[in-house]
Each structure stands twice: as C-alpha cells, then as structure tokens.
Amino acid sequence: MKLLKFKWQQIILCLGCLLLIIACQSSRPSTNPGAKLLKVATDPTFVPFEIQKADGKLEGFDIDLMNAIAASAGFTVQFEKLPFDGMISTLQAGKVDAAISGITITPERLKTISFSRPYFKAGLAIAVRENNQDIQNLNSLKGRKIAVQIGSTGADFAKTIPNAKISTFNSGPEFFQDLLNGNVDAVIGDAFATLYAINNGQLKGIKVVADLLTEEYYGIATSKSSPHMDAINNAIATVLSNGTYKQIYQKWFKAEPPQLPDSPPLGKVKQLNAATVFYHS
C-alpha cells in the first residue's frame, strides 16, 4: 500500500513537470526558441520598403532589415499590418513594440515617440503625369491640386505650398490613381518609393520632377518608454558594419548605400536643389 502511494505521488509529480514543460514551450515563438517576441507594425503599401504579396506574405527592404536586426538582437519579429496614419497612436498605446514603415524622423514626431538611429536616407519628390510640361519645380505647384498620403511628411510639406488644394489618401496606390485619373496635378511623396515603382513598371504614365524637395531619414519607431531601443540601435550598428545592410540595400536598389549619420540632421525640412539629386538609376 505504501509502495502504491509512493508511485501515485511520483506519477503526479511527473505529470506536473510535463505540463510545465509543455506550457513553457508553447508560450515561446516556434521560430527562435528563447527569443523575445517583438510586435512590429508596418503599412505594406509602400514599395519597395513593405509590400504584401498575393499570398499575404510581407516583403521589402524594411522587412529584410527588420529581420536582420531581430536576428542580431535575438528577437523574434511578428509583423502587424496597420494603416500608416494610425501607427504613432498605436505605438503610444503600447499595442505594438515597434514600427518600421519608411517612417521619417521628424522633430514633431520625436515629441511623442522615439526613433532609432537613421537606417535610410530618403527625401520627398514631386510626381506628375508623364505628359505634363508645366510643373517643373516647387514654384509651379502654387495653387495646384496635390494628392498626398494622410499623416505623411509629404502631407506636411504640401501644407506649406501657397493656395494648394490638397487631397489626402490612405495609401500610395490610391493617390497615384488619382493623379492618373486627372483629379490632381501632382503627388508629393517619398522619392525612392515613387522612383522604384516607376522603374519597375508598377506605375505607368507618371514621372518624377527632378529636384528633391527634402532630405529625410527613416528610423524604427518605438514608444518613448521602450525597453528595446538600445538593442535595436546596437543591431543597426552591427548590420551596418558587417555588410548585411549593404547586401539588403543592393538587393532592393541595385546601388551602393550612402553613408548614414549616427543621428538625424534635424531642423526645418532641408530644401535641396537640382545639384544634390541622388537617384541612382
């Protein structure tokens, strides 16, 4: 009898241990056991930074970079699709741990969220219909109809153009469609994204007016109180120095990456002139 009781105790103890092991296993992400799960928001309507393929999978420069950062920092990434305009409030509310979405580091945004060191040198450009001859530069945009993405730096820039009539859209494909339909005269948006779409035949009938309007830098955003920013910044430094960044840049842009500053040169939106155009064809 005593022996039987002892066996029962042993069985219960073993079952308990088994349950504990199963519980521990299932609470861990399967891809990288032991890694911290990082929920990362992205708006996959922005070629070639974040795009959703027909099968639902995400791809793009930002997606590759975030995965490389995660591998270096020991995170497992779970991407969450979110409209660009809602990203900052979602970060603030702590519903995601970070966001990567071609987000420009601006003094205004830095008041409410944190940014990593710059990971991409970008800028705004004017796009018009291919047959348009009269919009050549910023001056010719006065009083024109302009389409922009809601909540973007392009939208902020458009507000500074005298008498411009601004239409706002949720995503890139929509505002370019409006331009093609003839509802607006121009789009102000991120130069790299527009040029990529034109060069890859995804945007037909549209051209970019040569001057860049601004110099901007993209950063990975987190809430102000994020415990992950140091790890993210260290991982960016690692992928920049070990050749991974260069590989990803070349994969998407077929060009050498430019030098990146350690911190963004902030200040009023920097106006550039034709001489500083940086498109690599």
165-169 vs 145-149, strand pairing mode: parallel
CB of 189 to ligand ARG, least distance (A): 7
- Residues that bind ligand ARG (rule: CB under 6 A) add up to a total of 13
Return the residue of 48, 60, 102, 219 that touches ligand ARG, per CB under 6 A. Answer: 102
Supply the minimum distance, in Å, between the C-beta of residue 50 and ligand ARG.
5
Per CB under 6 A, the segment of 17-25, 41-49, 179-187, 231-239 that binds ligand ARG is 41-49
Question: Residue 194 interacts with ligand ARG (CB under 6 A)?
Answer: no
Enumerate helices (H) and strands (E) in the chain, giving the number of each.
9, 15
Sign (positive or negative) of CA dihedral 239, 240, 241, 243: positive
The single-letter DSSP state of residue 104 is: B
**Residue 153 near ligand ARG by CB under 6 A:** yes
Residue 101 in contact with ligand ARG, rule: CB under 6 A = yes
Residue with tokens 């001859």: 133
Stretch near ligand ARG under the rule CB under 6 A, chosen from 24-32, 96-104, 180-188, 242-250: 96-104
Q: Is 211 in the site for ligand ARG (CB under 6 A)?
A: no
CA atoms within a 13 Å half-sphere pointing along the CA-CB vector of 231:
19
- In the complex with ligand ARG, which residue's Cβ is closer, 5 or 111? 111
- How many other CB atoms sit within 10 Å of the CB of residue 34? 8
Cβ proximity to ligand ARG: between 28 and 95 the closer is: 95
Helix, coil or strand: residue 194: helix
In whole angstroms, give the CA distance from residue 132 to residue 279. Answer: 21
Q: Is residue 43 a contact point for ligand ARG (CB under 6 A)?
A: yes
CA quadruple 124, 141, 45, 193: dihedral, nearest 10? -40
Task: Tell me which residues touch ligand ARG (CB under 6 A).
Answer: 43, 45-46, 50, 84, 101-104, 149, 152-153, 190
